[in-house]
């Protein structure tokens, strides 16, 4: 096998191992061991690929050797592989956490294969260089997410999964229709080829319209205003490990897709399309803020924080200069890590107290200091307090925003930090401080078990902040690749042109 085919592995490995897992339905050990192994193997191959991309630049595989733009291209550029690696890492840690927390019945009911299939779809979506193939991978991870959201068959799960499916079926139909529009105008599906052709055509009203329709399609997944309404309810229903996966990964596929098409393909009418994205990003921040502050339910608080972060990241994409876009990618990875971390932490919190309402909690810091202090630090990271993980990204986003002349919007973004901080620190103040309340706390050993993956993720997330200097070359390369689309185009179409 040529090393260049490495690009396929982060997609194929989880698919293969997930399929093998279907053969060992009854064995808990096999499910756990192979499930974790599958995620770990995916992580290892993505790290190899990351090293390869960092060293040799953008990696491309055109499947079946039908040259681009006729066959399907898989493209690993820096943005893609960073997201693939992060998604694989988080899947591994969440699966580890699930071993202790999910319950045997769910574990034996295809939880591990479904998660690996979801990873397949997510990694595929991050990697593909073909817009129709992107749709296919959307279907893959969506179908897997349908399985996961309903897994367990509790009433709230069935009710919410129904809504979730309806919204996503609508989005999928719209996706195909929009691809149809684009194909009708350009006659091609390969993203690099689209970039070339739309660049040749220049600014055109109908193309801007299609760009906005893509924003709607991906916006439904990403959870931007006015399309995020389905998200809080649906994410609330499944068990926490699933929620952590959804919160950390699924909206990010939407963000990724918007970033991809708005940096590679639709760049001919930036004054209109990106301003529209800017407006929607700001509105998303505002509406997310309403929700984040409105509830005393720990799950809801963090869920609405997803929405705020979506707005912040897309603000950077909309500002559309290298500084801001680099900041967005830095912040995107940070947000994936820290959201997964927070969801797992409140998972432990709910496990200890048996409640989700903050008003019924109190005084936990005395008996659970590790959880309490790590949670507090994670909140500061979420709010972008230096030297933690959110800082570098936030600085660049704001700086890029100011450079682009978006002054009041930048102030809104900065203030959104206050909403994030207030909403998340409420959990700390109510649950960990205050008078001690008594709970039927489970045995300490179970708490410790769950804390192991949590602490590991905590250390990784903090490392992402404190030692960000070592990763900066990767992110600078990402920014360069995103703002100079010729690098992507040449990598895909290079030979023919």
Partner 1 sequence: MLLFMAIVLPILLAIFIPLAYRSMKSIHTGWFVLLAPVLLFLFYLRFLSPVQQGEAQLARASWVPSLDFYFDIYIDGLSLLFSLLITGIGSLVVLYSIFYLDKTKENLGNFYVYLLMFMSAMLGVVQFDHTLALYFFWELTSISSFLLIAYWYKRDASRFGALKSMMITVSGGLMMLVGFLTLYVLTGTYSIRETIAQVDTIVDQPLFTVAVVLVLLGAFTKSAQFPFYIWLPDAMEAPTPVSAYLHSATMVKAGLYLVARFTPVFAYSEVWVWLVTGIGLLTLFWGSLFAVKQTDLKGILAFSTVSQLGLIMSLLGLGGFAYLVTGDAVETFTFATFAAIFHLFNHATFKGSLFMVAGIVDHETGTRDIRKLGGLMSLMPVTFTIAMIGSLSMAGLPPFNGFLSKEMFLDAVLGLLHADISTMTVAYLVPIVAWVASVFTFIYSIYFLWYTFMGSRKEEQLPKVPHEAPIGMLISPAILGSLVILVFFIPNVVGDWLVKPATAAIQSSSFASAADIEFYIKAWHGWTSPALWMTVGVVVVGFLLYKMLPKWQSIYSKWPERFTLNRGYDTLMDGSLNWNRALSDRFMTGSIRDYLVYMFAGMAILGITTLFTQGGFAISTEGLAPIRLFEIVLTIILVGSVMAILITWSRLTAVIALGGVGYTVALFYVIFKAPDLALTQLVIETISVALFLTAFYHLPKLDKHYKGKEDTSFRLGNFLISIAVGLTVTLIGISAYAQRQMTSISEYYKETVYTEAGGGNIVNVILVDYRGFDTLFEIGVLMIASIGIISMITLRLQKKKKGVTVDEIE
Query: 35 to 74, contacts with partner 1 by CB under 8 A?
Result: 63-64, 66, 69-72
361 interacts with partner 1 by CB under 8 A: no
Contact positions with partner 1 (CB under 8 A) in 112-131: 113-114, 117, 120-121, 124
> Does position 321 bind partner 1 by CB under 8 A?
no
* Shortest reach from residue 54's CB to partner 1, in Å: 15
CA 298 to the chain's CA centroid: 20
- Nearer Cβ to partner 1, position 291 or 453? 291
The nearest distance, CB 140 to partner 1, in angstroms, is 5
For partner 1, the closer CB: 319 or 453: 319
Q: How far apart are CA 112 and CA 474, in angstroms?
A: 31
* Shortest distance, position 103 Cβ to partner 1, whole Å: 8
**Whole-number Cα distances in Å, 73 to 131, 144, 354, 392, 493:** 10, 23, 48, 33, 10
> Is residue 232 within the footprint of partner 1 (CB under 8 A)?
yes
Nearest distance from residue 229's CB to partner 1, in Å?
4
| Residues forming a β-bridge with 60 | 75
Interface positions, 265-294, toward partner 1 (CB under 8 A): 269, 272, 276, 289-291, 293-294
Q: Total residues at the site for partner 1 (CB under 8 A)?
A: 124
Q: Contact 32/112 with Cβ under 8 angstroms? A: yes
Decide whether 166 or 459 has the Cβ nearer to partner 1: 166
Scanning 28-36, 244-252, 307-315, 386-394 for contacts with partner 1 by CB under 8 A, the matching segment is 386-394
> In angstroms, what is the minimal distance from the CB of 4 to partner 1?
16
Which value, in Å, is the radius of gyration of the alpha carbons in the chain?
Answer: 22
Using the minimum distance from each CB to partner 1, give the nearer residue, 411 or 459: 411
Q: Of residues 3, 4, 162, 169, which one binds partner 1 by CB under 8 A? A: 162
Q: Which stretch binds partner 1 (CB under 8 A): 28-36, 181-189, 308-316, 480-488?
A: 181-189
Compare residues 38 and 453 and give the one whose CB is closer to partner 1.
38
Among 44, 47, 425, 455, binds partner 1 (CB under 8 A): 425
Q: How far is the CB of 459 from partner 1 (least distance, A)?
A: 16
Q: Which is nearer to partner 1, 476 or 486 (CB)?
A: 476
d(CA 39, CA 116): 7
- Contact residue for partner 1 among 27, 28, 56, 187 (CB under 8 A): 187
Q: Angle of helix 468-483 relative to helix 485-493, nearest 10 degrees? A: 70
Q: Is 216 in the site for partner 1 (CB under 8 A)?
A: yes
Nearer to partner 1, 201 or 459 (CB): 201
Examine residue 172 and tell whether it contacts partner 1 (CB under 8 A): no
Does 435 help bind partner 1 (rule: CB under 8 A)?
yes
Q: What CA–CA distance (Å, rounded) separates 291 from 480?
A: 35
Are 312 and 65 a contacting pair, CB within 8 Å? Answer: no
- Which of 188, 353, 356, 389: binder of partner 1 (CB under 8 A)? 188
Rounded to an integer, what distance in angstroms lies between the CA atom of residue 417 and that of residue 423? 10
Shortest separation between residue 224's beta carbon and partner 1, angstroms: 10
């Amino acid at each position: 096998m040529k090393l260049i085919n490495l690009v396929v592995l982060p997609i194929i490995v989880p698919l293969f191992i997930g399929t093998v897992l279907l053969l060992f339905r009854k064995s808990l050990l096999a499910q756990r061991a192979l499930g974790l192994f599958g995620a770990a193997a995916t992580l290892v191959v993505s790290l190899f690929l990351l090293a390869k991309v960092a060293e040799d630049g953008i990696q491309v595989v055109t499947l079946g050797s039908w040259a681009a733009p006729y066959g399907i291209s898989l493209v690993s550029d820096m943005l893609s592989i960073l997201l693939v690696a992060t998604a694989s890492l988080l899947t591994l840690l969440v699966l580890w956490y699930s071993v202790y927390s999910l319950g045997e019945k769910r574990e034996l009911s295809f939880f591990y294969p479904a998660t690996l299939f979801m990873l397949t779809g997510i990694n595929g979506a991050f990697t593909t260089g073909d817009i129709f193939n992107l749709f296919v991978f959307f279907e893959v991870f969506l179908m897997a997410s349908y399985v996961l959201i309903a897994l367990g068959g509790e009433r709230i799960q069935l009710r919410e999964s129904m809504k979730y499916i309806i919204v996503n079926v609508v989005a999928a139909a719209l996706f195909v229709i929009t691809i149809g529009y684009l194909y009708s105008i350009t006659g091609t599906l390969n993203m690099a080829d689209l970039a070339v052709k739309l660049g040749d055509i220049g600014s055109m009203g109908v193309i801007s319209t299609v760009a906005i329709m893509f924003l709607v399609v991906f916006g439904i997944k990403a959870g931007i205003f006015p399309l995020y309404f389905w998200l809080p309810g649906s994410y609330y229903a499944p068990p926490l490990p699933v929620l952590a996966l959804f919160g950390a990964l699924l909206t990010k596929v939407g963000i990724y897709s918007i970033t991809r098409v708005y940096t590679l393909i639709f760049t001919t009418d930036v004054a209109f399309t990106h301003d529209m994205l800017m407006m929607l990003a700001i509105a998303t921040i505002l509406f997310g803020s309403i929700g984040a502050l409105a509830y005393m339910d720990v799950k809801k608080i963090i869920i609405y924080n997803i929405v705020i972060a979506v707005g912040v990241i897309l603000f950077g994409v909309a500002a559309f200069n290298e500084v801001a876009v680099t900041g967005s990618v830095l912040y995107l990875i940070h947000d994936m890590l820290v959201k997964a971390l927070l969801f797992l932490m409140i998972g432990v919190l709910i496990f200890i107290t048996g409640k989700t309402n903050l008003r019924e909690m109190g005084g936990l810091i005395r008996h659970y200091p590790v959880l309490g202090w790590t949670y507090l630090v994670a909140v500061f990271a979420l709010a972008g307090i230096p030297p933690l993980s959110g800082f570098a990204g936030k600085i660049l986003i704001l700086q890029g925003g100011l450079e682009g002349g978006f002054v009041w919007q930048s102030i809104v973004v900065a203030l959104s930090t206050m909403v994030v901080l207030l909403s998340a620190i409420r959990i700390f103040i109510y649950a960990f401080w205050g008078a001690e309340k008594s709970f039927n706390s489970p045995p300490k050993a179970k708490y410790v078990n769950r804390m192991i993956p949590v602490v590991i993720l905590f250390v990784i997330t903090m490392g992402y902040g404190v030692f960000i200097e070592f990763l900066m070359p990767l992110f600078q390369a990402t920014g360069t690749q995103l703002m100079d689309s010729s690098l992507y185009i040449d990598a895909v179409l290079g030979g023919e042109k």
